[in-house]
Amino acid sequence: MSVQIDAKPGLDIETRLFIGGDFVDSVEGARIPVTNPHDNSILAEVSEARPADIDRAVEAARKAFPVWSRMGAAERGRLLAKLADAIEADSENLARLETVDTGHPIRDTRGLDAPRTVATFRYFAGLADKVDGRIAQVEPGFFNYITREPVGVVGQIVPWNFPLMFTSWKLGPALAAGNTVVMKPAELTPLTTLRVAQLIARVGIPAGVVNIVPGYGNVAGQYLAEHPGVDKIAFTGSTLTGRKIVQASAGNLKRVQLELGGKGANIVFEDAILEAAVNGSAFGIFHNQGQACIAGSRLLLHEKIADQFLERFVALAKSIRIGNPLDQTTEMGPLTSTGHRERVLRYIEVAKEQGSSIFTGGKVPADSALQAGCYIEPTVVTANPGDRICQEEVFGPFVSITRFKDEAEAIRIANSTEYGLGGGLWTRDLQRGHRVASAIRSGMVWVNTYKRVSPTSPFGGVGMSGYGRDLGPESLHEYTYPKSVMMNIDAQVPPYYKR
């Protein structure tokens, strides 16, 4: 069935599973309540996928795979472009849904999330007919060509922090390469992914190519990762869950792609343009309430400029407008769930126990209008490199401040965690920029900017931040495998066995 969301009157939202081209109820009739983190009111109840539903979705995807994989690549690209157009036309609906479902301010869902989603689908629409193979030079008389073939049925698990954007990051390359998909959006934030399913049905993508099955990670996610009919699992989320995904995938040795946690080091050198570094560092940690795996959550400041930087940075943090995310003037909304807010608040207590000084924040806003929601003030604390808050991912509007003396110490601190997803630095010295970027062990490094992403550039990490890449042409290799075909053209091969 469909429901109307009060935040967007007149918009009918499907709340059922999307399997085989149709919206259907779950076999067991189970439902998941979806809340608005601004006030914890119930937005909707969506069907909960359980193993029987995952079986149906995988069966539909397997049935559709020969149709989609053998379709002309240009035609697949045309359909993806149509989907991009449909999302663009529906972007206001999607932006408002994303805001009420996640707490992400409307100015960002309109200005960043929806446009990024459109751009991603358009990029992969253009790449669909550019999945090239190669010819290998082999001995005379033989012809050896290598093609790239779609993996097959792909299980994809999308996180709750940027569900709309990550839906495009996962679907775009998988579909462009000729795979079919069973996608499990997070139980907390399934609404925009279900809305995209409505648009998929409208634009003519064949039934079963995309299947959307909201459900709990320990039930639907676990079963999807274990499923023998799934050829690959692509997961974005916590490192703890990523380990479980790897273990669950072992049954049929399916391919695994993981984009996991991060603990980004953001280094400000003494020669940085201070105003740019302050503004960029604030965006790096406070955008989307710090709920980003690439957040610059460890701010490393050269001792010569630390006091000056902090004076400006703390003042900026205090000035951030917290409020209802549907208000266009709001700069920071609520965290996405009550449980996650409690987790971040516990880390503030850990910081105090470890001797951190709190420059600002560390508590729930005093505004009575925000008390029912999942709000936390932007928080800035001091910390030592070995402290828990510098080693563990907090995933909130929470940044630790550590001072350093020289470049070598900054690099050593930056590389002192088990993560390696994103990091950054601020300097006017071009040589230092290249040198330090090379030295940071991370899948992505920003110089004189932070947390900028593009569909054209690979996104992923090393170490406990996972393996594999979303985005860029590199992601097409994640969703294909090389097939070598060796042909005897005119080689005269003597008998190997003598009679």
| CA-CA-CA-CA torsion sign (102, 330, 401, 349) | negative
The rounded distance, in Å, linking the Cα atoms of 368 and 497 is: 89
Report in angstroms the alpha-carbon separations of 408 from 103, 413, 415.
39, 9, 11
Exactly one of 14, 98, 226, 259 is catalytic; name it.
259
Helix 191-203 to helix 73-89 angle (10° resolution) is 130
In 288-368, DSSP assigns E strands to 298-302, 358-360
Q: Which residues contact 286 (CB under 8 A, 6 or more apart)?
A: 317, 320, 332, 378, 397
Q: Which of 223, 196, 225, 190 is nearest to 209 (CA)?
A: 196
Tokens linked to 343 = 């987790």
Q: Which two tokens stand for residue 189?
A: 């934030």
**Angle (CA) 89 93 99, round 5°:** 135
Residue 370 neighbours by CB distance under 10 Å: 19
Q: Which residues pair with 4 in a beta bridge?
A: 12
List Cβ neighbours of 466 (8 Å cut-off, separation of 6 or more): 239, 242, 257, 258, 259, 260, 421, 460
Q: How far is CA 314 from the centre of its chain?
A: 28
For 350, the token pair is 């850990």
The DSSP output letter for 326 is T
Range list of H helices, 204-273: 222-226, 239-249
Place of tokens 């709000």: 375
Name the DSSP class of 287.
G
Q: Is the dihedral of CA 60, 61, 67, 68 positive or negative?
A: positive
Q: For residue 211, which amino acid is it?
A: N
Pairwise CA distance, residues 285 & 25, whole Å = 39
Q: Does an H or E element contain 147, and which?
A: strand 142-150
The one catalytic residue in 293, 374, 390, 407 is: 293
Catalytic residue status for 293: yes
Known catalytic membership, residue 407: no
- Distance CA(153)–CA(208), nearest Å, equals 10
The residues that are catalytic are 259, 293
